Amino acid sequence: MIYINLIPVRDIKRRRKAKKEILFSAGLLVCLLLILGLWAGYQSNAIANITDTNNKLQEEKKKYSKTLEEIKKLEQEKKDLLARIEVINKLKESSSLTVRVLDEVARFTPSDRMWLKTLSQSANTLSLTGMAMDDQTIARYMEDLEKSLFVNNVVLVSSAMENFAERQLKTFSISCTVGFEKLEKTVENKK
């Protein structure tokens, strides 16, 4: 007996081949989806770790922010204290300058030829008014003041004749600056 195969073999082979290709493609798709799922899980885990680290750092930052605020307050207090100390030092310097200037003025004033009526100091400006026997006494007094380590820029503001106790005397007004400039220059030159 002869058998005739009426079933198309080529179609069957083609169908099998197509089924294999579909299954292979589906398998590849499943593997690709599995790999993408694993990658997404890894990325999600990495994001969670980074978020946890960020949260911990934010909490630590909050802890240190209080300390930083205290440090800033202490630095501001330090600046305030240093400013106060500087003011105190300037006041000490100013008071010692005033004492030294008064000493110099008294030392250079010739008591037998001149006397002072007023002496006033405003900041670093010193004003003197008084009476003298003659112009030479005033000039010598100004030169002596100029030699002082604490008196600078001695200027005769005014001079006039005046009768006093039946004598002709010279009234004068002198302006000058006071400071430690000459003393500092002297100290620098000695170094």
pTM beyond 0.75, yes or no: no
Backbone angles phi, psi at 173, to 5 degrees: -135, 125
**pLDDT exceeds cutoff 90 at 129:** yes
Q: What is the C-alpha separation between 84 and 88, in angstroms, rounded?
A: 6
- What does the pLDDT look like over 36-78, one tens digit per residue? 999 999 999 999 999 999 999 998 888 888 888 899 999 999 9
**What is 88-190's CATH number?**
3.30.1360.100
The domain spans of the chain are 88-190
**pLDDT exceeds cutoff 80 at 191:** no
**pLDDT exceeds cutoff 80 at 1:** no
At residue 185, the pLDDT reads 63
How does 87-101 read in b/e, with b if 16+ C-beta sit within 10 Å? eeeeeeeeeebeebb
